[in-house]
Copies of this chain bind each other. A is one copy, B any other.
Amino acid sequence: MTKWVYSFGDGKSEGEAGMKTLLGGKGANLAEMSNLGLPVPPGFSITTEVCTHYYANGETYPAELKAQVAEAVKKIGAAAGGTLGDPAKPLLVSVRSGARVSMPGMMDTVLNLGLNAATTEGLAKITGDARFAYDSYRRFIQMYSDVVLGVEHAHFEEILDMRKEEKGVELDTELDAEDLKAIAAQFKAQVQNELGKPFPESVEEQLWGAIGAVFGSWRSPRANTYRRLNNIPEEWGTAVTVQAMVFGNMGETSATGVAFTRDPATGEKLLYGEFLINAQGEDVVAGIRTPQPITKIVRERQGGRKPSMQEAMPRAYEELLAIGERLEKHYRDMQDVEFTVQDGKLFMLQTRSGKRTAEAALKAAVDMVGEGLIDKKIAVTRVDASALDQLLHPTLDPHAPKTEIAAGLGASPGAATGEVVFTADEAEKLAAEHRAVILVRTETSPEDIHGMHAAKGILTARGGMTSHAAVVARGMGRPCVSGAGSLKIDIAKGEMITNGVTVKRGEVITIDGAAGKVYKGEVIMRRPELTGDFGTLMGWADETRKLKIRTNADTPADAAVARKFGAEGIGLCRTEHMFFEADRIIAVRQMILADNEAGRKAALDKLLPMQRGDFEGIFKEMEGLPVTIRLLDPPLHEFLPHEEEEIAAVAKVSGTSADVLRARTLALHESNPMLGHRGCRLGITYPEIYEMQARAILEAAANVEAAGGKPVLLEIMIPLVGFKSELDLLAARIHGVAEDIKKAKGKVPAYLIGTMIELPRAALRAADIAQTAEFFSFGTNDLTQTTLGVSRDDAGTFLGEYLSKGLIPRDPFVSIDTEGVGELIRIAAQRGRSSRANLKLGICGEHGGDPASIQFCHDSGLDYVSCSPFRVPIARLAAAQAVLRSDTKKS
């Protein structure tokens, strides 16, 4: 006979913590605590298999269930001393859902089940406390009607309020037993009125009603949606846990509360939580009475007047403290517990691993290693890598008052406050006066880089998580909110309108680049400090990980930041950003406007020393670590001005007419620039550009070495290769430049030539391409765009709907699409190494800083990931966690 019901209580249980699949998280942990001999009210769990059976069989229960439940209820009664429905010795129970993982949309809790007219009267007699009995009864009717019968909550509140008004009182506690009895009657009348049938008097009916409500809620629309979005299989099902009630509302020696075994915000080792005297669980949450802290020190810090639990109930507090320590040792993790004190006696109602901030996770993990609770490897898994962002960037004080005026995507974490400006030039000008500015643009382009650098934060009306603004902001470590669709910017008027609010140039706003929110005025901020614990944990992560972590850095300043965060090289140095600096853009434009090779060469000759200087700075900063430099990638029209005023100005500086400039811009216009004349295609049609760049790189490396610097580990990278023939041609030209330098100077620095793999064709033809390429760097942004046929700049119009409909599990520009893009990466890695065993493999797309993608890179056997400087610590931790997760899978 299948066992559908598992009892616990009285220091022994039929289940244990390992049986979450069958008993749900809550039930399994109650069983475990009971096995540990902790004071747990007796109860039982109905298994998740019943849920599965229920849906597989037209919403009916297994035949044996009724008897098994009856038996288990009897056991509770025996242990707790009472019988369900017996007015002389009434047993009351709570009924809760319990899935394998906690899940919104599920029925939560029904308390005080077992009360009806007769048993309430009995409870009043036994306890000698009629007020307590009727208060419990009206609570039960209210809760049961709401969550089981689906009667609207508001009606009950009205009845309660009317009664208080009639009596001229304000608090529930000021109502007496008679009041509560009357209210209970009115509640029942309301139910009869609304449903056309009476509130159940039968305790059997009550129990099965509650059990049915739990199973029914497994397929509620909200639960369905949550499951789909979080990939939770429908087959898992939920368990139901029924447990004898204990009462925190039996007077001043009773209480109820929740506690963390460490401060979930800071990780400090003390009992952190709240409790309420003479109350039941829902009062703590309801916020009608203000709960009191658990420990004295917390009360003192908060300047609270009401005593802490430590002061008010020292015995129960000491017991709770001991149990907390016991649970931490047992579970080897910080616990989040629920408890009730009934007439001075402590009961544990739940324990689970406690949610915590990144700061707390870090401190707790490092402390626990010190305490001998866990080892370093477990410590490494205890901090959510993505959450490290919280430690690296300023964040808004969660308690600060704020007025939200717009929302978009959290495109680059951190918070910033500043005056609104609408152009890059203005941003630069005000920043030079040491004023904090937020650059607000419809969307940014490479021409805005100097303004983005000058600004404290960036806000755009359009663009997704990998739009220009987002990518550049993350690279610079600037907070950014992108795609705030409500923004209408009127540069001419110098204002923006959002959701009816007008913000003029110079007015102050605050952006939260993690949450994607925009607020009016200044909002108080918290500036995190990196503690020693951070370095300790990073050290442990470094001991564990196999992937190298490089950074995407285009300037010596970026490189310095990244090295501080532990970068082991540069995986992507984009040379085009250098082209936009004020002193270069003129020469760049002269090159583009030149009619012939000679004209282009003259302009490039001006750029050569500037680029060489850029590279020298970067090489010095990196002190012999590998540096991958990508030759020019974006289409040339990105470097030309597009607005009339600017065209006129540029024409004047370039010594050409506005008409010529407009004509050239028009000639360079492309329908789909992402798939246009860019990358190595530029290198092939304008040989002199890549030749200049190769020369600048090699001469810079030679100069740094000649000045006594460490030899540069130089990797020259050709973008957008699709055919081996492209790479062959360009590699031959670079070798030609190297030969020239060797002839002139007697020697030339060593270098590798490799390619981005960012086109499906390149991935498929990797065996060919690796005959020439000495390394591959997966450009996963473009590879995602081409493999999925989705432009990241335009995806905003439908990707949101795809996510909300559950058509795709995650934004593929945030987390690698492992099934599609991922297969191409695996193919390329395998084929590439088949023709060159020591081929170096890395990724340099935006995915390089995403933990799930880093896991994929580890599993696929890549050598390194490269990400923006501020994500380097995330990558280090995620790479270590990937090793541990893979080890777990293997074992």
Contacts and interface: CB of A to CB of B under 8 A. Distances in A.
Nearest to A790: B675
A173 interface: no
Contacts of A672: 672-675, 785, 791, 793-794
A357 interface: no
Interface string A572-616: 000000000000000000000000000000000000000000000
B786 A729 contact: no
Given A761-B821, A786-B760, A789-B722, A798 B677 contact: yes
Given A723-B808, A789-B720, A765 B798 contact: no
B684 A794 contact: no
A794 B676 contact: yes
Interface stretch (A379-387, A558-566, A799-807, A876-884): A799-807
Interface in A773-791: 782, 785-791
Given A670-B793, A684-B807, A761-B817, 6 more contacts: A723-B808, A725-B808, A758-B789, A759-B789, A761-B789, A765-B820
A198 to B, nearest CB: 41
A726 B788 CA distance: 13
A760 B787 contact: yes
A729 B794 contact: no
A808 B673 CA distance: 21
A185 to B, nearest CB: 48
Contact of A786 (B670, B684, B789, B794): B789
Interface of A: 670-677, 681, 684-685, 720, 722-723, 725-726, 729, 758-761, 764-765, 782, 785-791, 793-794, 797-798, 801-802, 805-808, 817, 819-821, 823-824
A666 to B, nearest CB: 10
A674 B671 contact: yes
Given A722-B788, A808-B725, A824 B764 contact: yes
Nearest to A820: B761
A107 to B, nearest CB: 29
Given A672-B674, A723-B807, A759-B788, A797 B685 contact: yes
Contacts of A801: 684-685
28 contacts: A670-B794, A671-B673, A671-B793, A672-B672, A672-B673, A672-B675, A674-B789, A675-B790, A676-B791, A676-B794, A677-B798, A684-B801, A684-B802, A685-B797, A685-B801, A723-B808, A725-B807, A758-B789, A759-B787, A759-B788, A761-B787, A761-B821, A764-B787, A764-B820, A764-B824, A782-B789, A786-B787, A786-B789
Contacts of A824: 760, 764
Tell which of A729, A759, A761, A791 has the most Cβ of chain B within 10 Å: A761
* Residue of A671, A674, A720, A788 most packed against chain B (CB within 10 A): A671
Contacts of A684: 798, 801-802, 805, 807
Contacts of A807: 684, 723, 725-726, 729
A676 B802 CA distance: 14
A673 B672 CA distance: 7
A821 B672 CA distance: 20
Nearest to A676: B794
Nearest to A801: B685
Given A722-B788, A807-B725, A794 B677 contact: yes
Nearest to A822: B764
Given A759-B789, A787-B759, A820-B722, A675 B677 contact: no
Contacts of A821: 761
Contacts of A765: 819-820
Contacts of A817: 761
A802 to B, nearest CB: 7
Contacts of A823: 764
A788 B761 contact: yes
Contacts of A791: 670-672, 674-676
Nearest to A768: B819
Contact of A798 (B671, B681, B787): B681
Contacts of A808: 723, 725
Nearest to A806: B725
Contacts of A720: 789
Contacts of A758: 789
Contacts of A674: 671-672, 675, 789, 791
A794 B685 contact: no
A791 B671 CA distance: 8
A786 B788 CA distance: 8
A646 B306 CA distance: 74
A768 B813 CA distance: 22
Contact of A794 (B671, B789, B819): B671
Contacts of A788: 722, 759, 761
Contacts of A797: 676-677, 685
Contacts of A673: 671-672, 794
A788 to B, nearest CB: 5
A808 B681 CA distance: 13
Given A761-B788, A808-B725, A685 B820 contact: no
A354 to B, nearest CB: 35
Nearest to A671: B793
Nearest to A677: B797
A111 B418 CA distance: 89
B789 A820 contact: no
Contacts of A681: 798
A70 to B, nearest CB: 44
Contacts of A789: 674-675, 720, 722, 758-761, 782, 786
Interface centre among A674, A720, A760 (most CB of B within 10 A): A760
Among A672, A797, A823, max chain B CB count under 10 A is at A672
Contacts of A782: 789
Contacts of A725: 806-808
A462 to B, nearest CB: 10
A684 to B, nearest CB: 7
What 6 A-B pairs come out closest when comparing CB atoms?
A761-B820, A675-B791, A672-B791, A760-B760, A676-B794, A759-B789
